[in-house]
């Protein structure tokens, strides 16, 4: 079977989602997981867009060795040069050059003639080829462009060294039959097309990103650009997990394969959701919480007799554990380590010690500790190890009630070991806690989002808090979890503030 190259742009287009923000360590953590997942290409960022993006692409290039590492660049000399510099340590570097091709973009955004834009594309691809051999070119907004102009542009960039031609449905405008015809037309009308691979990059504005990508594959495209959980600009991108599992489940129809280790899908989805602060909706295909749950009696009966009656995928193929074990305070270290492994985690021994200590502490508060509780423990541990903790929560005490004034006293430990404490009044307990922390940390910011949810069922469930704060136009996401929801609120706020402090 032909192989479809999976090009993951979670770290570039995915991070463009409104409210998403990843620091350099979080990007590296996701890149390592993408390598485990088996993606062929990681688009690590847009080096010319900011010093942070440049540094992230540079770090990923040094640390990640198996996939191709790609940097995005406009058809501008400085962008090309920046991308090449950021990618210089990559084992397999790729520069991805793009320029608008639709009349509406050329006239109103670039304010140039078609001939000038064609020359830009040709010259900048040639410049990029002077740095690396692997060059990708994208005519932006291709689905709304004149096909004849697209054919002309693609032929020109192939002549000067482009090896992958990406056809973007930039604004999610196309429908599958139409997009499939565009891909077929490229194969038919670009004379030197045999020298390059056709790729597609589809957006989900009309909910058709995956469908359009599949139509492109059926018409000869052999690279798909996608993101974990479909995150990305506006309504997002084609979801990697959906495309991969469709190609796997319906191999009889598509007759193609990928290099993806599907058993890493669930773990990767969970990590991206956690670090980006975007919960996965329960009814999300493949990785949603309800994707393999059955409530109808007829369905339950069928699944118990033969799972394939109502499950077209085996949950184990995406990395979901086959059973849900409940652990408690009598569970030992070995059993805990085994369950971590079954859930897709393989921490180092030093991390196991810390996690097991947290597990025992939680088991003293809860009679039963479920898989979701353990996942929350691991996520909480990553939050405090990935981010340099300028401030750590030591103690918190709150008094509140319908007749009293909510008051919070907070004690923090600074990175150098200094203990600081303060108290404040608020309109409620959370407001009082945040005011206390603000007085101690003293970093101007604005709270823009606050969400609370329960990890598991029951009165003793772990509560998880997600917040977003904004400072100087940049958004920082924080998450915290605890059986005490006020403590979880404080942890989430400090998680966001520590990101803010480390970025400045």
Question: Would you say residue 281 lies in a domain?
Answer: no
Q: 350 with 269, same domain?
A: no
Is it the case that residue 303 has pLDDT exceeding 90? no
State which of 332, 364, 384 marks the end of a domain: 384
The whole-angstrom separation of Cα 178 and Cα 89 is 40
The whole-angstrom separation of Cα 89 and Cα 81 is 14
pLDDT of residue 456: 72
Task: Render pLDDT for 447-487 as a digit per residue (tens, 0 to 9).
Answer: 999 999 887 777 778 899 999 999 988 889 999 999 999 99
Question: Would you say residue 285 lies in a domain?
Answer: no
Question: Would you say residue 283 lies in a domain?
Answer: no
Number of domains present in the structure of the chain: 4
Quick one: pLDDT band at residue 365, thresholds 50, 70, 90? confident
pLDDT of residue 166: 98
H or E element at residue 436:
helix 429-441
Q: 196 with 128, same domain?
A: yes
Calculate mean pLDDT across residues 286-293: 84
Is it the case that residue 323 has pLDDT exceeding 60? no
Question: Would you say residue 284 lies in a domain?
Answer: no
Q: 155 with 226, same domain?
A: yes
Question: Would you say residue 116 lies in a domain?
Answer: yes
Q: 45 with 118, same domain?
A: yes
Calculate mean pLDDT across residues 345-370: 83
Q: Is the pLDDT higher at 38 or at 472?
A: 38
State which of 384, 403, 432 marks the end of a domain: 384
Q: 494: domain CATH number?
A: 3.30.160.270
Q: How far is CA 353 from the centre of its chain?
A: 28
Phi-psi region of 346 (alpha: psi -120 to 50; beta: other; left: phi over 0): beta
Q: 312 with 325, same domain?
A: no
Question: Would you say residue 286 lies in a domain?
Answer: no
Q: 316 with 334, same domain?
A: no
State which of 384, 408, 427 marks the end of a domain: 384
Look at the block and give the residue holding tokens 């995150």.
231
Is it the case that residue 297 has pLDDT exceeding 70? no
Domain extent for 470: 387-503
Q: What percent of the chain has pLDDT over 70?
A: 96
Phi and psi at residue 212, in whole multiples of 5°?
A: -65, -40
Q: 348 with 400, same domain?
A: no
Instruction: Answer whether 19's CB lies under 8 Å from 475's CB.
Output: yes
Q: 327 with 408, same domain?
A: no
The whole-angstrom separation of Cα 42 and Cα 187 is 26
The whole-angstrom separation of Cα 369 and Cα 336 is 11
Question: Would you say residue 6 lies in a domain?
Answer: yes
pLDDT of residue 453: 87
Q: 230 with 95, same domain?
A: yes
Full-model pTM: 0.85
Task: Render pLDDT for 382-415 as a digit per residue (tens, 0 to 9).
Answer: 777 777 789 999 999 999 988 889 999 999 999 9
Q: How far is CA 280 from CA 102, 254, 276, 288, 290, in A?
A: 34, 28, 11, 6, 11
Lay out the sheet containing 474-482: strands in order across: 446-454, 463-471, 474-482
Task: Render pLDDT for 224-237 as a digit per residue (tens, 0 to 9).
Answer: 999 999 999 999 99
The whole-angstrom separation of Cα 25 and Cα 382 is 11
Q: Are strands 68-74 and 93-100 parallel, antiparallel or unpaired?
A: parallel
pLDDT of residue 336: 84
pLDDT of residue 320: 82
Tell me the range of 62-71, 283-292, 337-346 where mean pLDDT is highest: 62-71
pLDDT of residue 295: 56
Q: 487 with 415, same domain?
A: yes
Q: Is the pLDDT higher at 368 or at 175?
A: 175
Q: 136 with 198, same domain?
A: yes
Burial 418-431 (b: 16+ CB within 10 A, else e): eeeebebebeebbb
Q: 465 with 476, same domain?
A: yes
Q: 208: domain CATH number?
A: 3.20.20.70
Is it the case that residue 374 has pLDDT exceeding 90? no
Question: Would you say residue 464 lies in a domain?
Answer: yes
Task: Render pLDDT for 238-280 as a digit per residue (tens, 0 to 9).
Answer: 999 999 999 999 999 999 999 999 999 999 999 999 899 898 9
Q: What average pLDDT does the chain have?
A: 92
Quick one: pLDDT band at residue 304, thresholds 50, 70, 90? low
């Amino acid at each position: 079977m032909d192989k479809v190259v999976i090009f993951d742009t979670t770290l570039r287009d995915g991070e463009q989602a409104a409210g998403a923000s990843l620091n350099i360590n979080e990007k590296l953590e996701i890149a390592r997981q993408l390598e485990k997942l088996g993606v062929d290409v990681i688009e690590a960022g847009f080096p010319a867009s900011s010093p942070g993006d440049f540094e992230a692409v540079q770090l990923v290039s040094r640390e990640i060795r198996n996939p191709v590492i790609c940097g995005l660049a406009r058809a501008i000399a400085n962008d090309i040069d920046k991308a090449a510099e950021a990618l210089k340590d990559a084992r397999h570097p790729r520069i991805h050059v793009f320029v608008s091709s639709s009349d509406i973009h050329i006239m109103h955004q670039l304010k140039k003639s078609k001939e000038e834009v064609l020359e830009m594309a040709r010259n900048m691809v040639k410049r990029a080829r002077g740095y690396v051999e692997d060059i990708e070119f994208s005519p932006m907004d291709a689905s709304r462009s004149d096909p004849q102009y697209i054919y002309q542009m693609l032929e020109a960039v192939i002549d000067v060294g482009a090896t992958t031609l990406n056809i973007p449905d930039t604004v999610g405008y196309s429908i599958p039959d139409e997009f499939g015809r565009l891909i077929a037309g490229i194969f038919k009308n670009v004379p030197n097309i045999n020298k390059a691979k056709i790729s597609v990059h589809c957006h989900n504005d009309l909910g058709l990103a995956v469908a359009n990508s599949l139509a492109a594959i059926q018409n000869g495209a052999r690279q798909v650009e996608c993101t974990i959980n479909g995150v990305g600009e506006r309504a997002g991108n084609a979801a990697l997990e959906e495309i991969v599992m469709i190609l796997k489940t319906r191999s009889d129809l598509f007759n193609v394969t990928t290099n993806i280790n599907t058993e890493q899908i669930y773990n990767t989805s969970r990590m991206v959701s956690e670090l980006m602060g975007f919960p996965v909706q329960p009814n999300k295909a493949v990785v949603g919480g309800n994707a393999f749950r059955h409530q109808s009696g007829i369905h339950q009966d069928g699944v118990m007799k033969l799972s394939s009656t109502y499950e077209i995928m085996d949950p184990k193929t995406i990395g979901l554990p086959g059973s849900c074990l409940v652990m408690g305070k009598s569970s030992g270290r070995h059993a805990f380590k085994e369950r971590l492994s079954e859930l897709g985690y393989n921490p180092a021994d030093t991390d196991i010690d810390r996690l097991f200590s947290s597990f025992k502490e939680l088991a003293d508060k809860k009679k039963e500790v479920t898989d979701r509780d353990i996942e929350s423990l691991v996520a909480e541990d990553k939050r405090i190890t990935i981010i340099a903790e300028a401030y750590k929560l030591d103690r918190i005490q709150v008094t509140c009630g319908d007749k009293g004034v909510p008051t919070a006293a907070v004690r923090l430990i600074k990175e150098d070991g200094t203990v600081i404490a303060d108290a404040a009044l608020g309109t409620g307990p959370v407001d009082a806690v945040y005011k206390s922390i603000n007085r101690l940390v003293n970093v101007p910011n604005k709270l823009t989002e606050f969400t609370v949810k329960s990890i598991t069922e029951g009165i003793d469930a772990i509560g998880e808090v997600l917040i977003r704060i904004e400072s100087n136009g940049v958004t920082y996401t924080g998450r915290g979890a605890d059986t005490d929801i006020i403590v979880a609120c404080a942890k989430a706020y400090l998680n966001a503030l520590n990101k803010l402090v480390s970025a400045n």
